[in-house]
Structure 1
Amino acid sequence: MQGLMQDWPLRVTTIIDHAARFHGDREIVTRSIEGPITRTTYGQVHLRARKVAQALTRLGIKEGDIVATMAWNTARHLEAWYGIMGMGAVCHTLNPRLFAEQLIYIINHAEDKVIFLDLTFVPILEGIADKLPNVKNYVIMTDRAHMPETKLPNALCFEEIVEAEDGDFKWAEVDENAACGLCYTSGTTGNPKGVLYSHRSNVIHSMAANMGDALGMKCADAILPVVPMFHANAWGIAFAAPAVGAKIVMPGAQMDGQSIYELLDQEGVTVTAAVPTVWLMLLQHLEKTGAELPKLERVVIGGSAAPRSMIEVFEKNYDVKVFHAWGMTEMSPMGTLGALKAGMEDWPLEKQIDVKVKQGRAIYTVEMKITDDDGNELPSDGKAFGHLMVRGPAIAGAYLKGEGGNILDKDGWFDTGDVATIDPQGYMQITDRAKDVIKSGGEWISSIEIENLAVGHPKVAEAAVIGIAHPKWDERPLLIVVAKEGQEPTKDEILRYMEGKIAKWWMPDDVVFVDEIPHTATGKIQKLALREKFKDYTLPTANAAE
């Protein structure tokens, strides 16, 4: 017997429709690319998104076509997102931090027909436009007064094409399973692969993200999404915030500690989300100026593991609740969030932080397990660690154009490429990327755990750990350190600091100091580059073993 409920397609346009109707005067604040702080509302964004859809129709874009954006977090970018998706096209977010060769590959592979871009990125696209045969128009997201001289072919001014329309546009009535968003993985091995989101998957992800133990946003919240819209859907915030009518504060291109602090303070931000490197800059600014965070209630940290020391500073010094998060492009992206379970709020803070350093519990709509190399499920005892497997309605079932072949196992599980533990309470902790695990004497060593410990040293700004070949143990850990400005830590004092905090056989065999650690386009430590740099490095313990 079938149910007798209405068939109401889950399209992302229902989100912005809801925001405009019930929260039409709620503010969206932007630090604009041109400089000034600008203010608009959900009502205005809704109208201008329909104008974007009209303008794209006039440019010959049809349902199913792919339209790209290369832009910071701004209200204009939000208008472009909903306009593109609302007319039935697919919004392809381009990461400007990628190399030119990667961008050329991605744009041509996706067959982008129009690219919306911020002023910042005009030079990037000018440099590769002659290699992008499918792109018919470049829409520069500014007004006529700030429109640059450009070599881009068929360049248009965003404000001019938007204001030329009247907004009398009816959203395309596409199937809820129709594609609406496209984001490529960072491609650490081989070419980047396209993850194609549907209207349905994005709406389901937004509802899951807004649950109380996830982002838990409310209309009364003001959220600052520092995580960029060009990376993994801005963790879904561009959909989840309008769904509840929360105020959005867009940081534009300014990600430094002072700029982020100004927006947090002046706009009454209650919740914010970013990768650890952003919070490191903010905490350094706070330490330098003595400023505080009286309005900020919670910080979501993801992208890479948050060091315990960072969580402690937020919680102890600024009374801000930290929520560790984990996910990936293929998961829309949210997979886990580190909310405490019933009774844990009464625990001493140190015991709470023991839980918060883990990546958190699976949100509803995400199934999760760990397996051994043969695919056998391992116990959730907090000790066994294995391959992290996931499945759910907002998780990729294949890559665009079949790249990578079949990416699911026989039961529909997706291998995340992470190695993790899951404890009896359901908290998952990433111990490493499968390819970054250090295999020493037949046992696995977590590079992430050593890195997080090292960063807790007061003289260390950043740390990375890689495996170096060893004649007796196959691999042993090498700790690579960037010192804090003005500090000169020694190998011995860092190793003394670490002693007793990790297993003795996990201790690094050597420590080297560098000026900087390379990062991927999404801000993660580039272990591949480090392994290449140190491929001929000889550990001091290697000679003794021979």
Structure 2
Amino acid sequence: MQLTLKTFLERTESFLPQNEIVSRQADGQLFRYHYADYCRRTRQLASALARLGVKPGDRVATLGWNTYRHMELYFAVPCLGAILHTVNIRLSDQHIAYIMNHAEDVVLFVDPDLLPTVQRVASSVRSLRHIIVMDDRPASPDDLDYESFLATGDADFAFPEIEEKSPCGMCFTSATTGDPKGVVYTQRGLYLHTLAVCLRDVLAIGEHDTVLPVVPMFHANSWGLPHAAVAVGATTVLPGPHATAADILDLIEAERVTFCAAAVTIGVELYAQLQKRSRDISSLRGLMLGGSATPEALMRRFQNEYNVPIITAWGATEAAPLATSTHVGRSVFEAGSEERIKTRVRQGIPIPGVELKVLDDSGKPVPRDDRHPGEVYVRGPWIATEYYRDSRSRDSFADGWWRSGDIATQGSEGSIRLVDRAKDLVKSGGEWISSVDLENELAACPGVLEAAVVAMPDARWQERPVAFVVPLQESGELDPNMLSAWLARRFAKWWIPDRFVVVAALPKTGVGKVDKRTLRQRAAGLAL
């Protein structure tokens, strides 16, 4: 048997057809249907694409939100043998045009509110032949709408037999520097990644779950949750376009969501919204936060105030995306919630199927003493071994290992603790300062909701840290002397930021991470 995604679809189609998919629409209303309908429409969509001339190996792009139509494409395209290219809707027009040209996309599916972007870039995408609007009516006489296109397909379409090493997905990095880099996923890779996500000691996604993937479907396979949900027939709740923290909490409460996944910055917004208006989120067995290290203070707030554990992991676009998870061993679990939090705040151990090593500057493994930092390397059946047609591969891959650029320490049991991105470390007077450690401690300070630390140029010390801090209350004020004293409890004097800048919000990237490049530019201005 070939390890391909269609086997997951066929299993749920045959044995769990009555489980439900719920999708929040642009007007806030909820669309509901069953997996029986989902699987029928997915076959019909694959058939329509085949009749359009899409062949195995062709790239089909999406520019869309987390909706049921986008989820249909998640299986229709790879089950046809084509390659699903999920385009990051928050990239610049220049980068969107670049990655679509680099991927050579032939068909583009787009949500209606994103048509202005398509109108700006489509003429510069040389390979693009068809644009289909993910709606039930055409946006203009020249457009083909999704439902009319779907009607051209056969609901009894038989998926072709596909070789498991065939490419089936493509995602580009979010381009913090230079052009985005493409990562291609194979059928076998995503199949094995899906099985790993469903393991009890990873995310434990099962048929009894109601899963809410807030993490965008255009980013790193939505952390594998759409594939996992279909594989096990879990009830799936999709937040739709422009969902706010309030919308997400309303969905958790109304649909009794058991597992939700989002960026750390979204977790901060969820907590702030809960302080404004209470919701019943007791159904949650876990809130997965990623994209950056989760502050311990945020974990404590959710655990102590709402009895919701924060689940953490580590990975990247290159890892499809999961490479590690924070497994709470039996001895730690029995020791109580405080010890569990100390484990969960780390990025964990490699999930089954992944190999991991942390190497110092000389290429030697760091001691497992949690004091010596090094760069994290990983390899495995779903980890990339190169970028798509990109000469930068030689700098990021070595002997099958992906060099992550993330700096971490390892504890005695092997779990990693993210110290920083290599480019985000502050080098002051020849010594390294971890922005992550400072951010986590600031987030625990009374009155602080969120914080980010970046390097500011300094004539004497080369670099000095500057902290951008968001108050917990909208009208709150934060005293820099108080913040400095709070950090001095734990850190040496030379670690303390030279400046504390109080801001209403931190800038975010297209995938919800704090935009440190923008903050570094602002910090450089402060140094003048």
TM-score calculated relative to the size of structure 2: 0.96
State the shift of 1:515 in Å: 4.0
Query: Are 1:321 and 2:312 counterparts?
Result: no
Residue aligning to 1:494: 483
Q: 1:80 aligns with which of 73, 80, 84?
A: 73
CA distance in 2, matches of 1:432, 1:116: 37
Aligned to 1:141: 134
Q: CA deviation at 1:219?
A: 0.9
| Residue in structure 1 matched with residue 499 of structure 2 by the alignment | 510
Q: Which amino acid aligns with 2:140?
A: E
> Offset of 1:34 from its aligned partner?
4.8
Following TM superposition, where does structure 1 have runs of at least 4 consecutive aligned residues deviating by more than 6 angstroms?
none
Task: State the one-letter code of the partner of 1:16.
Answer: L
Q: Does 1:240 align with 2:228?
A: yes
Q: CA deviation at 1:409?
A: 5.1
Letter matched to residue 446 of structure 2 = P
The answer for unaligned runs of 5 or more in structure 1 is: 1-7, 540-546
CA separation of 1:468 and 1:285: change in aligned 2, threshold 3 A? closer
The runs of 5 or more residues in structure 2 that have no matched partner are none
Following superposition of structure 1 onto structure 2, how do residues 68-467 of structure 1 map, counting pairs within 5 Å? 68-144=61-137, 147-149=138-140, 155-407=143-395, 410-467=398-455
Check conservation: 1:40, 1:75, Cα contact below 8 A: no
| CA positional deviation for 1:410 | 4.6
Spell out, residue by residue over 1:162-219, the C-alpha distance to the aligned partner (whole angstroms, 9 max, x if none). Answer: 1232322221222111110000001112110110000000001011111111110121
Query: Which residue of 2 is the match for residue 530 of structure 1?
Result: 519
Within 1, Cα distance between the matches of 2:299 and 2:362?
36
Could you report, residue by residue, the CA deviation over 1:45-73 in whole angstroms, capped at 9, with x for unpaired residues? 11111111111112111110000011111
Kept after mapping to 2: 8 A contact 1:91/1:182: yes
Q: Per-residue displacement from partner, 1:489-518 (whole Å, max 9, x unpaired)? A: 121111122221334432212212334432
| Count of residues in correspondence between the two structures | 527
Q: CA deviation at 1:432?
A: 0.6
Q: Distance in 2 between matches of 1:408 and 1:297?
A: 36
8 A Cα contact 2:378 2:403, kept in partner: yes
Contact 2:48/2:154 (<8 A) preserved: no
Alpha-carbon shift at residue 77 of structure 1 (Å): 0.9
- CA shift at 1:431, angstroms? 0.6
User: Residues 256 and 278 of structure 1 are in contact (CA less than 8 Å); yes or no, is this contact kept in structure 2?
Assistant: no
Return the alpha-carbon distance in structure 2 between the equivalents of residues 410 and 305 of structure 1. 26
SS at the partner of 1:113? strand
Query: Residue type matched to 1:66 in 2?
Result: R
Tell me which amino acid in the other structure corresponds to 2:165. N
Match of residue 37, structure 2, among 31, 39, 44: 44
2:58 aligned with 1:65: yes
Comparing 188-197 with 530-539, greater Cα deviation is found at: 530-539
Aligned partners of 1:98 and 1:521 also within 8 Å: yes
Once residues 509 and 419 of structure 1 are traced to their aligned partners in structure 2, the CA distance between those partners, rounded to angstroms, is 24
Partners of 1:235 and 1:403 in 2: CA distance: 26
Q: Is the 8 A contact 2:216 2:511 kept in 1?
A: no
CA contact (8 A) 1:112 1:134 kept: yes
Indicate the percent of aligned positions where both proteins have the same amino acid: 38
Checking the alignment, whether the CA contact within 8 Å between 2:452 and 2:469 is kept in structure 1 is yes
- Counterpart-to-counterpart distance in 2, 1:195 and 1:234: 15
Distance in 1 separating the partners of 2:234 and 2:483: 44
Question: Residue type matched to 1:507 in 2?
Answer: I
- Partners of 2:334 and 2:491 in 1: CA distance: 27
Alpha-carbon displacement from aligned partner over 1:120-158 (angstroms, at most 9, x marks no partner): 2112111222222321111111112xx3237xxx52110
CA distance in 2, matches of 1:461, 1:32: 30
Which amino acid is 1:124 matched to?
Answer: T
Q: Which SS does the other structure have where 1:180 is aligned?
A: strand
Give the distance between the partners of 2:174 and 2:242, measured in 1 at CA: 23
CA distance in 2, matches of 1:140, 1:469: 47
For 2:13 and 2:494, the matched residues in 1 are separated by 58
Does the 8 A contact of 2:268 with 2:450 survive in 1? no
> What amino acid sits opposite 1:387 in the alignment?
E
What amino acid does structure 2 have at the position aligned with 1:25?
Q
Stretch deviating more after TM superposition (519-528 or 388-397): 519-528
CA contact (8 A) 1:462 1:483 kept: yes
Map of 1:542 onto structure 2 = none
Separation in 2 of the partners of 1:316 and 1:265?
19
Q: Is the 8 A contact 1:397 1:407 kept in 2?
A: no
1:275-324 CA-to-partner distances (Å, cap 9, x unmatched) read 12222222222221233322111111111121111101111111112211
Q: Which amino acid aligns with 1:492?
A: N
Q: 1:363 offset after TM fit, Å?
A: 0.7
Equivalent of residue 55 in structure 1, options 48, 52, 70: 48
Contact 1:193 1:403 in 2 (8 A): no
Q: CA RMSD in A?
A: 1.7
> 1:110, 1:433 → 2: CA distance?
28
Q: Distance in 2 between matches of 1:428 and 1:194?
A: 27
TM-score by length of 1: 0.93
